[in-house]
Structure 1
Amino acid sequence: MATILADLSSALADVSDGVTRSLVQVRSSERGGGAGTIWHADGLIVTNAHVVSDSGSRRSAPRRISRGAISVILPDGRELPAQVLAEDAEHDLAALRVDAHDLPAVTLGDSRRLQAGDLVVALGFPWGVTGGATTGVVIGTGDALPELAGSQREWIAASLHLRPGHSGGPMVDAHGRLVGINTMMNGPDVGIAVPVHVAVAFLKQVFGDKMT
């Protein structure tokens, strides 16, 4: 048993270390900030809409916008100004761009294949801790989760503890592949993420196939 647990611990540490290379910290003068995920090597970053703006005004479709006073701290420590290219407050997603190239983009997984009991890891900057990780299992997915009755949006619910600073960061599967974007807690023991296939649809609607 000890060997199994040690192997699991080592594997989770390796997953976290690998994903941290695609994890960025987002700073916003409006909202304080959170985390983001490097989606494309040429500076495209995905985060939550609520990390970069006051999302009280809900929109059903993404739109291109321009917003200042946003910066991103890359894994190598560089802090760069970021432009908010588009946001979809309805799905709590935003696309940012920084002037950088050859960035370590995350590997995409398939959120539609997630099943209850699958292991997931969420990363971010909880209370400013770089690469803070939390682990749990998938409770359920889809648009009819009891935890979010009536929302009519697709979610991943997992038994992990998201904290301030995890928002916008990656939720990955046991292979380190992106399956969701951390977005909020629902009660003390349920972390909620936007499925990666929803993020792909958002980016395709804004940019077409060139950035997905």
Structure 2
Amino acid sequence: MSITLDAPVAPALAGLALSDAIADITAEIKRSVVLIGQNGSHGAGVIWRSDGIVVTNRHVLHDDRVEVILDDGRTLTGIVAARHPDRDLAVVKIAAEGLPAARLGDSSTVRPGQLVIAIGHPPGLRSAATAGIVVAAGQAATLEGPRTGDWLQTDVTLRPGNSGGPLVDAQGGVIGINTMVSGRLSLSIPSSTVERFVAGERPGDPHAWLGVTGLTVPLRLSGHAAGYLLTEVAEGSPADRAGLIVGDIVVAFGTVEVVDNESVPAAVLRLNPGEAVVLAIVRGGEPRQFTVVPTERA
């Protein structure tokens, strides 16, 4: 479903067409929205893959098993397969096939002023819809200070029970996962970030560990707009044994380049313990390469 208005259109007819389009989009996407219940509380989730992969917020989950209620009324047991190490994201696996997976939109093309719809389960309601516009893409002011590169900021209304639900564009594609309220605005994690997490996570597989801590920084180097500045290298870790030091800037993990805040966790999630990976490094302004063999995270 896509919202298009042929000009010229009388204002009343235009409003009617917009209203019908929002209702159609809501009816389509609600099939992919689940209710996740646990210990008397609940939140929302989105069917991300038709084979039972559901995405929600990490803060919605308190235990490793949850109750998942589908739009068709079926109640299934969900197993928490993965929690993002840094973002408020988690993957829940349910034993079902052929589910109505949400259609994904392109969050990288979102612009301020675009129409969006949020779906969730506020108290006393199922699959309730609220509409608004994008206020800012890629930046947000939070209690911890300004955040850039990893949020969609909108004026849609979010209430308890909306957490983990989808933010949908005017074409009916999911462009974000609704996460929190900051002041009078709502923050959603972009769908591109969510997809990298889901694609990189292998539920049940061991997690690879490099032993580094750092932060993403902008670079003024040819071919590299950003890098991961190492602020700590654990003694005796795989990175330490390979020769990495504090102050090194990682610009690529194997074939995955560092381009934004999500590149590093997405790249690390793709690594396998015991399988060597070549890290492209900038040290003292000079490019270097180091081969690191990750170990299994304890």
Q: TM-score, normalised by structure 1?
A: 0.86
Aligned to 2:194: 199
Of residues 12, 21, 26, the one that matches 2:36 is 26
Query: Is residue 176 from structure 1 mapped to residue 199 from structure 2 by the alignment?
Result: no
Tell me if structure 2 keeps the 8 A contact 1:91–1:153: no
Structure 1 or 2: more strand by fraction = 2
Residue correspondence of structure 1 range 6-155 to structure 2 within 5 A:
6-29=16-39, 32-53=41-62, 67-68=64-65, 70-88=66-84, 90-142=86-138, 144-146=139-141, 149-151=145-147, 154-155=150-151
Local SS of the residue matching 1:203: helix
Partners of 1:2 and 1:90 in 2: how far apart?
47
Partners of 2:18 and 2:196 in 1: how far apart?
33
Partners of 1:170 and 1:150 in 2: how far apart?
23
Cα shift at 1:122: 0.5
Distance 1:50 1:100, change over 3 A: same
Partners of 1:67 and 1:191 in 2: how far apart?
27
Q: Report Cα offsets for 1:179-206 as digits up to 9, x if no partner.
A: 000101112x311100001101111221
AA in 2 matched with 1:199: V
Cα RMSD for the two superposed structures: 1.8
Cα shift at 1:152: 5.1
Distance 1:109 1:45, change over 3 A: same
Structure 2 unaligned blocks of 5 or more: 1-10, 203-268, 271-298
Local SS of the residue matching 1:122: strand
Cα shift at 1:153: 5.8
Question: Percent sequence identity over matched residues?
Answer: 39
Q: TM-score, normalised by structure 2?
A: 0.62
Local SS of the residue matching 1:127: coil
Partners of 1:100 and 1:146 in 2: how far apart?
39
Larger Rg: 2
AA in 1 matched with 2:103: T
Partners of 2:197 and 2:128 in 1: how far apart?
27
Cα shift at 1:22: 0.4
Any runs of at least 4 consecutive aligned residues in structure 1 with deviations exceeding 2 A, and if so which? 144-153
Structure 1 or 2: more helix by fraction = 1
Partners of 1:99 and 1:146 in 2: how far apart?
39
AA in 2 matched with 1:202: F
Q: Report Cα offsets for 1:93-123 as digits up to 9, x if no partner.
A: 0000111111000001100000000110000
